[in-house]
Chain A
Amino acid sequence: MLAPVAGRQDTTEIRVSPAEVTDVMRTLHDDGAFRFRVLADLCGVDTGEVMQVVYHLWSENSPDWLRVIVDGLPRDDPRVPSMTFMWKGAEWAERETYDMFGITFEGNRDLRRIYMPPDYTSFPLRKDFYLADDAARSPGEGFRHMEQVRPPAAADRPLLTRRSKVQ
């Protein structure tokens, strides 16, 4: 656990590291006290500094949604274990997260792009992926190609992202 259990409104939140997420999820799923059988959602988040993978679980024993955040994945090579051994339905969700964020799910046997074409090279939902309109407003002013993360002229400037105040 990376942080104490937090709760707000109808959601309980726990943060774990990539190394312990398999055990945590297995306990939540199998333990008779928890029985979180429904994987309500699986998605990736790019906070601008680190990558996260966020799971939402539902159990008949709990009135709250349970949010499990796998925190602190490095931006250059984010890796987390796959949940397909427990929920086979996570397969496409993980493919989508891989497609959009470039997060590798170790153990997913079909981790290829799902929306973007197979020869596509960038990850659109990362915060350093600009829309064409956005590039004009950015501090790295002037034209930049949509898929080019940092133009050579701006190489000495810090990587521009909309940094999050939410951690």
Chain B
Amino acid sequence: MLQFCEWLEHNSWIVWIDSSIPLSLLFEIMHYSGFFLLVGSTVIVDLRVMGLAARDRTPAEVGRQLFPWMWTGLCMVVLSGFFMFAGDAGDFYGAITFRLKILVVVVAVAFGLIVRSQVPRWSELPTIPAGAKIVAFLSLVLWIGSILISVEVPAISGVG
């Protein structure tokens, strides 16, 4: 894997993209915008499932409106994140905090998928089950955790 990361880092396309200030800026803007869209829309759905937001709408209604932006944000984050990673792939690979960040994000996305698939069923019940609220709360904590670990990557590892 380390060999692949080093190959990626020295790939002529990646070197060209990484050395271009406008492209680096573009990916950074795309990463932040996508992240705000992803986390903002996910958190609102989680808060609705927990009964703390938009209580005059069902969780399914809120979800139908916001889930497309959650996936759009995720695609923007993954695409831009790949190019931001590729330029320093070798260093990122060795950073424990970066690996932890990817793990937290993957688990958070998995929770997002659970909420996405179960929201229509939860909305048909007379009250939202306690289990659903726990899943939504964990999703919320995981996304806040992903922000924390993201800011810790450069703070602790000095990468990024």
Q: Decide whether A and B assemble into one complex.
A: no
